[in-house]
A and B are shown apart, each in its own frame.
Chain A
Amino acid sequence: MNVNRLPEGIFVIIIGLVTIWLSLGYSYMERFTPGPGFFPFWLGLLLTVLGFIMLVSSAAQVRTLRRQQVTSDSRPVGNEVTKEEPVIGASTPFTGWSDLSKVFAALIILVLLVLAMDWLGTTISVALFTILLIWFLNPRVSWKIVLGTGVLVAVASYLLFVVTLEVPLPKGIFGF
């Protein structure tokens, strides 16, 4: 367990303050009734308070942990902490850079799908997307399975969404 929540706390405070600032643009009271700015203002304030709670608790935990780690050599053997060991460190949102690159690669493939939909039409885009993603997730899969799945997913989604449910999906230059 990572107890350092400093960046998260600061982030929450920033969202809270921005919300308060934006809500001041809407009227807080209109005659005797709370106006459109009333609810967002209080939400922003609550977020800011929660962010500070996170900061304070994080700082307190880090301090006690540091103290413990200084004296940790005197800890008796056999009294090991069975729960997740708290760690002081930068709180990184990712488990590693390879994960991050994987996630971004997947997102880029998704963004490409959405961008391609208007141009190539949904059906072809879906086929290309499926092929690209399978290849990205597991390059060892035989190309027959990759191509077959791509075509199958595209045809099935066309039949389900366009033919049966009549969703007006982007058609693109080929008209389907």
Chain B
Amino acid sequence: MHGSEKDAIIRMFHVYRYYSARKALCDITLEISKNEFVFISGPSGAGKTTLLKLLYLGERVSEGQVLVDGINLARIPRKRIPFLRRKFGIIFQDYKLIPSKSVFENVALVLEAAGMKSSLIQKKVRGVLRLVNLEDKSNSLPPTLSGGEQQRAAVARAVVGDPQIILADEPTGSLDAASAGVILELLKGIHIRGATVIVATHDEALINQIGGRVLLLKEGRLESAAFVEKQYDSSLS
């Protein structure tokens, strides 16, 4: 299920990323289509997180080119970077919630940054907190929540702006099976609503549960690309 040039939302050409002499990514060329569900798999240190960072300009490529929705990231002006980032909803491995702000404020921040009206923000944030079943925790501070609740808050923040692409970095890595199941269901729902979902994980069980294209990274190189059959009903929401 490789994306054709026309419907590809992400394209990478011979991308390299060095840290001093160490190569974190080496000659990566790939395409991801709109509304595709893609896993980036591989052991720890394989370069999964680095690859995701290159997409939202958390880091810059050392060599090669990255195109997101037709935008060449090497040529994007500094002022346009926030608008590029609004195309993404990012679920970080360590959640990256602001500890001094409530769950509601953390989620609302995305919409405030986009300049949305306060009344609409209230409505959208309440809706998305209902979706992730955190309505009753909207005034809680992140440090008072469990790992699973924090991850759900992070998912809520990632989806509240209706982004085109969801990037999830080890979204179930530190969760128990029940919490991981909830996150999984949420990711499925987001995909069904039309978003492109890219999940970096080394959790094979997660890949088998959802199915999709799997890009295997090893020591910064793209080793293989395989397709795992979907094991969930796409009518799920």
Report if A and B associate in a common complex: no
